Structure 1
Amino acid sequence: MMPTASIQPNHTLAALFLGVAMAAVVGTALGFEHIGGYIPCALCLEQRIPYYVGAPLMLVAAIVSKAGGPSWAVRGLLAIGGLLMLYGLVLGVYHSGVEWHWWDGPASCATSADAVTKDAGSLLGDLSSKKPPSCDAAALRVLGLSFAGWNVLASAALAAIAFRAAR
């Protein structure tokens, strides 16, 4: 009887794809902030953390895989990436629920990120005129989904890819 060859997923490509995809998702959010002028709320900023951690971690997984490192280490890093995306999914669902007023958001649901100018001459005037966004109002909806809703879909897809690659 001939042994059957088990087909291993290409961990290097999967990790590289995940790293680039995570960077693209958070890069898109940063683009909407810095180019589009959408000031993120506190929950928006928190949803970026899994991507900030996950993107470089997936690149490390790709490097370890390409260098011929142990398969268990690469699979473990991919699984951690999947867990980070699950955390991002939970944050996105929570924020979406706050936006749809299904539940209350945190009491400190506002941010000061770019809410005031960096120009010292108009600093006092801007303190009273610029308000950070509230977490319970979606800044933009595309096809019925807010940024948080799109994050749920992106996080779910990336988690599924990471967990499948980790198997």
Structure 2
Amino acid sequence: MTRSQLITLAAFGSAALLLGAFAFQHLGGLAPCAMCIWQRYPHAVAVICAGLALLLGGRIFLMLGGLAVVATGGIGVYHTGVERGWWEGPSTCTSGPVGDLSTDELMDQIMAAPLVRCDEVPWELLSLSMASWNTLLSLGLLALWLLALRAPAR
């Protein structure tokens, strides 16, 4: 495959993941949590980097595109760990302990809680959440960016 084909494939991969996320949200009715939103931004950056690499050339855009998919994959790993209870997530989108809270403090925590929590899995396929799938697919996209870096420019 040529460099431009690899870049185009990587761009379509990130665009497809973004479109899938929007489809789950707007067509499937699954509201995204904060970390789900965080995972979208690097895919958008990767698509922009691909466009710039195709238009302007230069290895810098290939490296930035690869870094973008590493970033979204990293957020996906973190999000998966929060979903699986391996570590705590940000207090803004996970449930907190209620053991020693007064009634007023508990009510304040309930009222401040987001509608969509980051520590719950709303959808799975083959026992993997959307965050887990994003991580795996982003690794595949990273491979495309790395291959594009190695491919001769034409």
Settle same-fold status: TM greater than 0.5: yes
1:105-144 correspondence runs (5 A): 105-109=89-93, 132-144=115-127
Q: Which letter does structure 2 place at the counterpart of 1:16?
A: T
Unaligned runs of 5+ in 1: 1-8, 66-72, 111-127
How many residue pairs get aligned? The number is 132
Q: Deviation at 1:148?
A: 0.2
Q: Which TM-score applies when normalising by structure 1?
A: 0.75
2:83 matches 1:83 = no
Residue number among 88, 101, 107 corresponding to 1:104 in the alignment? 88
- Which consecutive unaligned segments of at least 5 residues does structure 2 have? 95-110
- Bigger-Rg structure (1/2): 1
**Deviation above 2 Å: which 4+ runs of structure 1?**
none
Structure 2 residue corresponding to 1:165, chosen from 132, 148, 151: 148
SS in 2 for 1:76: helix
TM-score if structure 2 supplies the norm length? 0.81
Counterpart AA for 1:81: G
CA contact (8 A) 1:23 1:55 kept: yes
- Calculate percent identity across the aligned residue pairs: 36
2:41 corresponds to 1:57: no
